[in-house]
Amino acid sequence: MNLRLKQRTGIQVLALMLFTTLLAGCGINNIPTLDEQAKAAWGQVQNQYQRRADLIPNLVETVKGYAQHEQDTLTAVIEARARATSIQVDVNTLDNPEKLKQFQQAQDQLSGALSRLMVVSERYPDLKANQNFLALQSQLEGTENRIAVARRDFILAVQQYNTEIRTFPGRLWHSVMYSDLPLRQTFEATSPDAEKAPQVKF
C-alpha cells in the first residue's frame, strides 16, 4: 500500500511538472512580458524627448546673443517647449489614445519650432561659427536620431504586444488571464513631413 501511494504521488508530481512546463511553453507569460517591453520602450521615448527639452534653453540663449532681432522665433521655441513639457505622461498614457495624441502633437510642434530656429540661424555667420552653438547642434542632431530610434523601438514593441493579444494562443490567454490589458496605441504621422527629422544643419 505504501509503495502504491508513493508511486501515485510520484506520478502526480510528474504530471504537475509536465503541466507547468507546458503552460510556460505555450505563451502564458508572453503578454505581460511584451507589455513590460512596450512600457520600457515608451520610457526611452520619454527619455529622449526630455533630453531634447533640456538642450533647448541653452540653444535659445546662444542664439539670442547673436540673433536679437529674431524674438518671435525664439519665443515660439520657448512656448513650444513649455507646451511639450507641460503634458504629463507616464506608462498609463499608453492606455489613453487621446493623451498619447496630445503628447505627440506637442512634440511635433516643438520639432517645427526648432526647424524654424535652425533656418533663422543660417542668417548669422558668427552664430554658425560659435563653438557652443556647434556643440549644441551636434547634441541636438544626436538627440533627434535617438528620438527616431526610440520611437521605432516603441512602435515595434507595441506591434509585438498587439499581435500577441490578437493571435492564438495569446488571444486565449488575453481573454482568460489578461483581459485588463488593452491594445496599445502607437505613434502616427500627424503631418505630411512627419517622416523627416527637423533640419538642424547650420
pLDDT along the chain (202 residues), means of 10: 73 70 67 95 95 94 87 92 90 85 93 90 87 92 96 96 93 90 81 52 44
Which residues fall within 8 angstroms of residue 96, CB to CB, at 6 or more apart? none
How far is C-alpha 122 from the geometric centre of its chain's CA atoms? 31
Question: What's the whole-model pTM score?
Answer: 0.79
Spatial separation of the C-alpha atoms in residues 31 and 201, rounded to whole Å:
42
pLDDT for the residue 202? 40
Which CATH number, 3.40.50.11440, 1.10.132.10, 3.40.1160.10, 1.20.1440.20, labels domain 30-176?
1.20.1440.20
pLDDT for the residue 167? 92
Spatial separation of the C-alpha atoms in residues 67 and 126, rounded to whole Å:
10
For the chain, the domains span 30-176
> Is 183:159 a contact under the CB 8 Å cutoff?
no
Spatial separation of the C-alpha atoms in residues 46 and 16, rounded to whole Å:
43
Spatial separation of the C-alpha atoms in residues 132 and 150, rounded to whole Å:
26
Spatial separation of the C-alpha atoms in residues 89 and 11, rounded to whole Å:
52
pLDDT for the residue 67? 85
